[in-house]
Structure 1
Amino acid sequence: MKINQDTFCGAAWFQTRNRQDMTKSICCLTEAYSDDPGTESMTPMEYLNSPKIVQMREQMADGIRVPQCHLCWKDEDSGTQSYRQKINSYLHSPWFTSYFKHKKGFNTDMVVMADVKIGNTCNFACVMCNPSDSSMIYNAWAKQKDSPFVKDYIDADPDYFQRVKRTGYKSTSYRNYIESILNNDKIRYIKFLGGEPLLDHKLLQMLMDLPDSRKKKLSLNFVTNGSHDLVEHSKKLGDFHRIQWAVSLEGIGATQDYARYGSNWSQIEKHILAQKELEDNVSVITCIQATTITKLHELVQWTKTHNIPFALGTVENPAYLTMSSVPDKLKKIALEKLKNVGSYIVYEEKEFTPFDIDSLIDLIDNTKYNKRLHKKFTEFIPFYEKGKILPNFLDVFEEWRPYFEV
């Protein structure tokens, strides 16, 4: 089979990703732009060989830019390395060349990479999350269904709470899925997401029990909130080819503990720095959002000081937590603080594409202010604080004070 380098994507051949409801996609970028009902009970191989995905591979072989992958095409057209190109570079090896040299037809016969979401089980209730991401938020919101912020979700999906309740790491569909992933001796890379993946003790035991011969060929990436001792878990898991820890932070100090309710910054900082000292395999990821934007420079500076790789994404939903809720004058204050960090490289979360600090500033500066979203943001903050032992928002993010009444 001849590979069309302009459109070929290894993810469409060898990677699977489950959503919290156990429907499947091939990667994080197509997840939000494709609808895959009926895939909940599919094994990874069944999904990758389903008619929809086989057709995608056929179209890519013909040089067609399939619409589900428009984010990658957009990056490539702008001269930025795309997730597709990143995946292809990871797969480039003698076995890859040999596989397609002898390949006939468009069915695949192996899963090499997997993104595994354990469900919403989590010990944090972060400001930008919802019941699908956090069991703590589920429990709180289930008692506040008359709130307009909860109604937004119920109006969009009347069965929202019932559907979320059926997900989680204890569900049969999830347990069958993770077993099929780990029983596949071709798997070489697994990324674990939550909720909080380190709360799934059965998963951790399954990983520990893998034969050493399997571990040496398998790389793991845990996206964690940092509340657990990373050094302890690294030692327990054993001698995998590589273990990467990506710790989700929204700031340092009071910023982190406010935005990620349940966080203890002093403990998390110790976990990160201890793991970095043991083995330089820890990074930090954050979400650009209205709540914490005025303190983003502190987190960037902290990672720079400790020489820790820093990746970022953007909150896109709900809209009132995006940068569109930030007044232009306040945004300018936040950007000036970022400029003072000086020369620094950050990485975009999904594609891990490098940005210098000026590019990051441009990314934020290009957002358009929306007064209606600004108002809804100021109404959401009291809802977020309700029932939590938290300082007042304006005591933590004092720069917001002149802009908190719309």
Structure 2
Amino acid sequence: MINKQKLDSIKNAPNGFCLAKWYQVTIDLSRGYTHSCHHPMRHKIPVEEIIKDPSALHNTHFKMLQRKLMLDGIRPPECDYCWKIEDTAGDHLSDRFIKSTDNWAYDLLDETLKSPWDKKISPTYVEVIFSSDCNLNCAYCMADVSSSIESEMQKFGPYPVTSNQHRMPREKAIKENNPYVTAFWLWFPEMVKTLRVFRITGGEPLLSKETFKVLDYLIDHPAPNLSLAINTNLSYSSTQLQKLISQVKVLFAHKAIKAFSIYTSLDGFDDQASYIRKGLDLNKFKANISLITDSLPESEIILMCTYNILSITSFKDLLDWIVEQKNAGKRITLDISYLKEPEYLRANLADDSLKSKMNDDLEYMKTLKQFSQYEINKYDRIVSWVNTKTADPFKFVYQADFYTFINEFDKRFKSNFSALFPGHKKFYRSCMKSYLWKKIYSLGNK
């Protein structure tokens, strides 16, 4: 539970202020991008900046300008993920409150408010992407963080949508002589001294040799105050996971880290989850969950749900499965965020029947004692956002693009959306009508 006194203190800071802009960073070393936190769009790290100072992997000039806006009481436009939550009717905590009051940030509040906007910051929460190599092809993901999607786009080309070509690669990954990886290893020995959380993501981190290089470094250079985390899709043979488990056991034995967590993802359940996350093997996923909890009982599993329009009809089944895991003694926390992009997969496209399902699921979740108030609140704010009656002039376009995307997705992967998502039947038909009207409108304007 977040301390109200802490929240009030943050609210007394300049409007739009968020400590994540200073102390949390996700760095894509495979292509040279960064953002703080993970919600804003990634921006390019200028090579000339990291040559002068490797900490520019985090402290880019662009990011420092966003910090200046926050200190001046101005909401940075790139942080609109939280503004949407905060501007929704009712009392809702956005991620900037949650992050700013976390134990890796809050005690630095006073110091940060007094610091100049262009001060070089040593982050306390770091995520790195060493490689975009990935064995999954998720519907809402993009080529820049999944080699499987990159291969798909090379084979088939862009989707025939109008609103967002999110799956197209912006640039190729740097495979050799990568200046960003070089800068990371120059900076890491110094950066790790102040780190509280270090999280390796991807791609699939277990496919990268750099992941195991980090573990070896920490075995040789203990960081006893560090919480280590790995993002992994857990949809692979357990032999791949055993190597990770073995090294983590050594880290614990040497007291080289404070804690270890696994971050993994399910955005629905059963066949619908496998549709959203192509390549997901739910049986292997479940087996690997058990392997982790049996082998590393001191570890925690954070199950992330990127809640989107396809999550709605199997979300209750996901809740029931998590309850089973919690009842079996597994330390699993459900962490739900709404999908921001692409727009045509957002949950707020839901029609009344799907909204009704969401409302029912929220009330059901509230009856389950296994879920904390934190977990419930994360879903509550998404439901409130979806139920907000605001006119979106582009909703018609997004619905048409949903229909276009799903049909092309089915064609490429030889799947059948209508058969797997019967609860979306009415919504799908509505999107088809939007597609036809859009097509008629386009022909009429030629």
TM range (shorter): 0.7 to 0.9
> Is 2:253 the partner of 1:246?
no
- Aligned partners of 2:60, 2:378: CA distance in 1, in Å? 41
> Is 2:147 the partner of 1:140?
no
- Does the 8 Å contact 1:112/1:189 carry over to 2? yes
- Aligned partners of 2:407, 2:247: CA distance in 1, in Å? 41
**Structure 2 residue aligned with 1:373:** 398
Deviates more, 1:128-137 or 1:66-75: 66-75
- Does the 8 Å contact 1:346/1:355 carry over to 2? no
Secondary structure in structure 1 of the residue aligned to 2:144: coil
> Is 2:321 the partner of 1:321?
no
> Is 2:261 the partner of 1:255?
no
> Is 2:325 the partner of 1:303?
no
Deviations 1:357-396 (A, max 9, x none): 6555434333779454334323322321234364x22222
**Structure 2 residue aligned with 1:202:** 210
Aligned residues: 391
Deviates more, 1:254-263 or 1:371-380: 371-380
**Structure 2 residue aligned with 1:234:** 245
Select 1:286's aligned residue among 277, 299, 305: 305
Deviations 1:265-292 (A, max 9, x none): 0110111133234334002111221223
Displacement after TM superposition at 1:355 (Å): 0.7
> Is 2:125 the partner of 1:125?
no
**Structure 2 residue aligned with 1:6:** 13
- Does the 8 Å contact 1:73/1:82 carry over to 2? no
- Aligned partners of 2:121, 2:362: CA distance in 1, in Å? 48
**C-alpha distance 24-164 of structure 1, shift in aligned 2 (>3 A):** same
Deviates more, 1:283-292 or 1:353-362: 353-362
Deviates more, 1:83-92 or 1:373-382: 83-92
- Does the 8 Å contact 1:21/1:40 carry over to 2? no
Displacement after TM superposition at 1:90 (Å): 1.7
**C-alpha distance 41-204 of structure 1, shift in aligned 2 (>3 A):** farther
**C-alpha distance 320-213 of structure 1, shift in aligned 2 (>3 A):** same
- What is the one-letter code of the residue matched to 1:209? Y
Displacement after TM superposition at 1:296 (Å): 1.3
Gaps of 5+ in 1: none
TM-score (norm 2): 0.72
**C-alpha distance 16-177 of structure 1, shift in aligned 2 (>3 A):** farther
**C-alpha distance 291-68 of structure 1, shift in aligned 2 (>3 A):** closer
**Structure 2 residue aligned with 1:223:** 231
> Is 2:183 the partner of 1:166?
no
Deviations 1:118-165 (A, max 9, x none): 343210011212222321111112122265149963xx99xx64x432
Displacement after TM superposition at 1:210 (Å): 2.5
**Structure 2 residue aligned with 1:18:** 27
- Aligned partners of 2:204, 2:231: CA distance in 1, in Å? 8
Displacement after TM superposition at 1:114 (Å): 1.5
Gaps of 5+ in 2: 1-8, 327-331, 433-446
- What is the one-letter code of the residue matched to 1:165? K
- Does the 8 Å contact 1:324/1:373 carry over to 2? no
- Aligned partners of 1:329, 1:73: CA distance in 2, in Å? 27
Please identify which structure carries the higher helix content. 2
- Does the 8 Å contact 1:48/1:54 carry over to 2? no
Secondary structure in structure 2 of the residue aligned to 1:18: strand
- Aligned partners of 2:137, 2:274: CA distance in 1, in Å? 11
Displacement after TM superposition at 1:115 (Å): 1.9
- What is the one-letter code of the residue matched to 1:225? N
Q: What is the Cα-based RMSD across aligned positions, in Å? A: 4.0
- Does the 8 Å contact 1:24/1:40 carry over to 2? no
Select 2:386's aligned residue among 343, 346, 364: 364
- Does the 8 Å contact 2:336/2:375 carry over to 1? no
- What is the one-letter code of the residue matched to 2:33? T
Secondary structure in structure 1 of the residue aligned to 2:145: coil
- What is the one-letter code of the residue matched to 1:234? I
- Aligned partners of 2:123, 2:378: CA distance in 1, in Å? 35
- Does the 8 Å contact 1:248/1:285 carry over to 2? yes
